[in-house]
Structure 1
Amino acid sequence: MTSQTEPFYKKLSLNLISLALLGAALYIGQGILVPLFFAILLATLLLPVTNFLQRIRFPKVPAIILAIFISLALIAGVIYLLSTQVANFLEDSDAIKTRLNSLIHSLQGWINTTFHISTGKQNQYLKDTAENMKDSGAGIVGQTVVNITEALSYVVFLPVYTFLLLFYKDLIKRFIVSVFESTKEENVVDILHESRTIGQHYILGLLTDMTLVFALNSVGFLILGIKYPIFLALVGALLNLVPYIGMLVANVFCMLITLITSENLSDVVWVAVILAIVQFIDNNFMMPLIVGNRVRINALVTIVGVIIGGALCGISGMFLAIPGIAVLKVIFDRVESLKPWGMLLGDDTDNKESKIAAAVTGKASKVPKAPKVAAPKPSKD
């Protein structure tokens, strides 16, 4: 009996150690690896564009540069739109500050009446909190510098990584196939092909979904007649890209801004209703239709994966968690010794409980649909 159970424990221990090392590598090297992972997603998205340009007689290097330039121009356009909306929002800073002070005084009066805490004690608490923030100001400034440095590294390294990945894609593919020469080449090529397709469908699906969410939010907020409808709709659509946390933050942010800028409290309720309706449509109709769910990831694994991704790499880790888990499942399903892990990640049951879990968690099982292909042959892609 011992001889039968020993290989199982050895295999399980090796798998757990490998996952632990992978997590440690992500945590320690996130400054290098996270931009690289984003570059891989961007490269998979731009690969059809570069292939098309090369088919119409563009040289390889200009085709890659043009594809990257187009993608960066689109990103710059979104940033410009957001910055103009923020500028419009900040133009009314004095009126917003006055309204905010009025709300704070009303809140202090309610606290005094309900909890019998005097306004003086509340002000003293706020003063002490401000002093504590001043004492930790150096740490806040240091963290801000780190965040700015990370953002600049993304700006610098993302296009460089993307260009090099597209330029050396054939070399990288031959390397991966050669490393796993003990495995059937068709199986390795199949894994690479489906992983690439998952990345493409995931990014394209998220961009399409973000555009539709932005349009629906804009229409709802314009009909409602609240201030800064385009700004709030854009913030809500961008935050919706981050699973779970983004949806919650978007709701709180939009309701808070509406509370500060509107004299009618019912507007806050209607903003929450619009966001809830759009989120319901997004979770139950748009995301399954646009992104698809051929590689199904169960709700528990998705939630845990997003939390672990956030703990290891922050917001970027949350965003990368779902495509990362999807690619891992593709690998696990095609490696005999790892198939139980693929089964653990999957959500192949179509019972009522599975559908309820997917509806409750929203993006839980909305991982991109990759077309089924029969043993793809090695190609120039």
Structure 2
Amino acid sequence: MSDSAHSPWVGQPHPEGEPEPISAAEEHAAELASDSHPLGTPGRRFDRRSPFMIGLAAAAGVLVTVGTVRLVLAAHEVLLLVAAALFLAIGIEPAVSWLTRHRVRRTLAVTLVFVVVLLGLAGFLWAAITPLIDQGQALISHAPDSLHHLEDKYPVIRSAADRFHLEDKLRHGVDTNAEGLRNGLIGAGQVVFGAITGTVIVAVLTAYFSANFPSLRANLYRLFPHARRPRAILIGDAIFAKVGGYVLGNLLISLITGVLTFIWLAAFGVPFPLVLAVLVAVLDLIPLVGSTLAGVVITLVSLTVSLPTALFTVGFFIFLRLLEDYLLAPRIMGRTVRVPAVVTVVAVLIGGSLLGVLGALLAIPFAAAVLLLVQEMLFPRLDQSEHRAG
């Protein structure tokens, strides 16, 4: 028995009376090992058509499906953080790739993108955190008084408020929130700690995914058979480009709408312009529903100034919506994301009902990816089958 057949790191010392079949197999294993294949070359495949393999595959499929479903349900919160980080990593990939094409190392490119984002957030918070807190507290605390002021100016609002008891509900909500803030410091601390922890986890995972995106992409494509790999690369890169273009384009459009809203509100003397502009920018990230909800809120606040101001604000948001749909989105996103309006509505509704805000954000790029797969894979096969049948 050759000593080179035994690993010096496993099961030392080997027994002297080791069974002959094992000794022979280890000697043969030593002969199979080489520099190119240190663990030997793969052997021939099992007979997949044998009854044993069919039954084993069926049982394993059921167990894997059940186990996967239970695992997803048990770890859905963590999986959502991972999905958000991967989504953001794919989203910043166009910027990182642009820097790498200009001879910047990938690690440095990811660092530069993160630094720019963090500096932008830090600068915004440094300049606007105090006005945001003051205006936010004033907006919440003065909400009942603003509603009472609207009731005095507009009898229609008074009748609607009396019918639905809006003033009592609004005052009760404000008092409840204030009492909760006073008595629920532990719960509030837990919420803040959870939000900070989730943000840090997403940021770290995003940096990791972005820094290692080329290797992750390569390993993903290695899962496809050799004959189908080139086609998978073309389709996969097209999907990545759609997601990246959507994320960066949506963030830029949201920033533009927030700035325009702040200018409009400040020009017409609408109260709380900064906090309302930030609200518009955040809600505009949510497809379809977000901008509409933001327009309703801003219009109600502008009613406290005057009815003409509210009507002009409605016209401004209609113009802003048209500007976003027909000028900003086509020019910023180009043709990277092209989803029909009906598919967009259905995707956002389904994504929002399944995963909330994150599902609504992921719905459009996911729908774009599905449409690309249908157009490139399903439709050609259906057309060929129809042609053969004819």
* TM-score in same-fold range (> 0.5): yes
In structure 1, C-alpha distance between the alignment counterparts of 2:379 and 2:162, rounded to whole Å: 64
Q: What's the offset of the Cα at 1:61?
A: 3.8
Q: Does 1:161 align with 2:209?
A: no
What is the aligned partner in structure 2 of residue 304 from structure 1?
346
Q: 1:143 to 1:169 in 2, by over 3 A?
A: same
Distance 1:275 1:149, change over 3 A: same
* Separation in structure 2 between the aligned mates of residue 240 and residue 54 of structure 1, nearest angstrom: 31
How do 1:5-84 and structure 2 match up within 5 A? 29-51=75-97, 60-78=106-124, 83-84=129-130
CA distance in 2 between counterparts of 1:241 and 1:91 reads 24
Q: 2:149 aligns with which of 103, 106, 109?
A: 103
| 1:269 and 2:315 matched | no
Q: 1:118-156: per-residue Cα shift (whole Å, max 9, x none)?
A: xxx9599759977xx89xx8xxx8997886566334311
Report the secondary structure of 2:338's partner residue.
coil
In 1, the alpha carbon distance for the partners of 2:361 and 2:100 equals: 31
Change (3 A) 1:339 1:226: farther
Query: What secondary structure, in the 3-state scheme, does the structure 1 residue paired with 2:116 have?
Result: helix
Does 1:222 find its partner at 2:266?
A: yes
Equivalent pair of 1:295/1:326 in contact (CA under 8 Å): yes
CA contact (8 A) 2:150 2:157 kept: no
Deviation at 1:216, TM superposition (A): 2.9
Unaligned runs of 5+ in 1: 1-20, 341-381
Which secondary structure does the structure 2 equivalent of 1:191 belong to?
Answer: helix
Aligned CA distance change for structure 1 residues 180 and 201 (closer, same or farther; 3 Å): same
Equivalent in the alignment of 2:51? none
**Which amino acid in 2 is paired with 1:171?**
S
Aligned residue for 2:303, secondary structure, equals helix
Tell me: CA distance 1:296–1:79, structure 2 relative to 1, closer, same or farther (3 Å): same
Residue 187 of structure 1 contacts residue 334 of structure 1 at CA under 8 Å; is this kept in 2? Answer: no
* Cα 1:284–1:196 shift into 2, 3 Å: same
Q: Which amino acid aligns with 2:320?
A: V
Residue 280 in structure 1 maps to residue 322 in structure 2: yes
CA RMSD of aligned residues (A): 4.6
Q: Relative to structure 1, is the Cα distance of residues 126 and 284 closer, same or farther in structure 2, using a 3 angstrom cutoff?
A: closer
Q: CA deviation at 1:50?
A: 4.2
Q: Is the 8 A contact 2:285 2:361 kept in 1?
A: yes
- Superposed displacement of residue 210, structure 1: 2.0
Q: Distance in 2 between matches of 1:36 and 1:254?
A: 34
Residues 232-281 of structure 1 show CA distances to partners (whole Å, capped at 9, x for unaligned) of 23322321121111012101211222234x2x232222222211111122
Q: Distance in 2 between matches of 1:239 and 1:171?
A: 35
Of stretches 61-70 and 248-257 in structure 1, the one that deviates more from structure 2 is: 61-70
Which structure is richer in relative contact order (CA contacts within 8 A, separation 6 or more)? 1
SS in 2 for 1:181: coil
Pair 1:321-2:367 in alignment? no
Shift of 1:323: 1.0
**Aligned equivalents of 2:253, 2:302: Cα separation in 1:** 24
Greater gyration radius? 2
Residue correspondences, number: 315
Give the secondary-structure state (helix, strand or coil) at the position aligned to 1:226: coil
Aligned counterparts of 1:47 and 1:289: Cα–Cα separation in 2? 19
CA displacement 1:285-341 (0-9 Å, x = unmatched): 22122223465322222111111111111111111110111122233333348977x
Tell me: CA distance 1:288–1:191, structure 2 relative to 1, closer, same or farther (3 Å): same
What is the SS of the residue equivalent to 2:356? helix
Is residue 108–residue 122 contact of structure 1 (8 Å, CA) maintained in 2?
no
Which one of the candidate residues 234, 239, 242 is aligned to 2:283?
239
- Please tell me whether the aligned partners of residues 31 and 150 of structure 1 are also in contact (alpha carbons under 8 angstroms): no
Among all aligned residue pairs of Structure 1 and Structure 2, give the percentage whose two residues are the same amino acid.
Answer: 20
Q: TM-score, normalised by structure 1?
A: 0.65
- Aligned AA (1:286): L
Contact map agreement 1:333 1:339 (CA 8 A) in 2: no
Asked if 1 retains the 8 angstrom alpha-carbon contact of 2:81 and 2:198, the reply is: yes
Could you tell me how far apart the structure 1 residues matched to 2:294 and 2:367 are?
Answer: 25
Distance in structure 2 (CA, Å) of the matches to 1:164 and 1:112: 55
Shift of residue 48, structure 1, vs aligned partner? 4.8
Q: CA deviation at 1:157?
A: 1.5
Whether contact under 8 Å (2:150, 2:303) holds in the other structure is no
- Listed as ranges, the matches of 1:76-155 within 5 Å are 76-78=122-124, 83-90=129-136, 92=138, 96=142, 99-100=145-146, 102-103=148-149, 106=152, 126=169, 148=192, 151-155=195-199
Which residue identity does 2:342 align to in structure 1?
L
Letter paired with 1:66: L
Code of the residue aligned with 2:311 in structure 1: it is V
Counterpart amino acid of 1:335? M
The answer to whether the aligner puts 1:290 opposite 2:336 as a matched pair is no
Is contact 2:348–2:364 with CA below 8 Å preserved after alignment?
A: yes
Paired with 1:297 and 1:52, the residues of 2 have a C-alpha distance of 25
Q: Cα distance, 1:62 vs. partner?
A: 4.3
How has the CA–CA distance of structure 1 residues 109 and 208 changed in structure 2, closer, same or farther, with 3 Å as cutoff? closer
CA 1:81–1:243 in 2, change beyond 3 Å: closer, same or farther?
farther
Q: TM-score, normalised by structure 2?
A: 0.64
Q: Give the whole-Å Cα distance in 1 for the aligned partners of 2:337 and 2:141.
A: 50
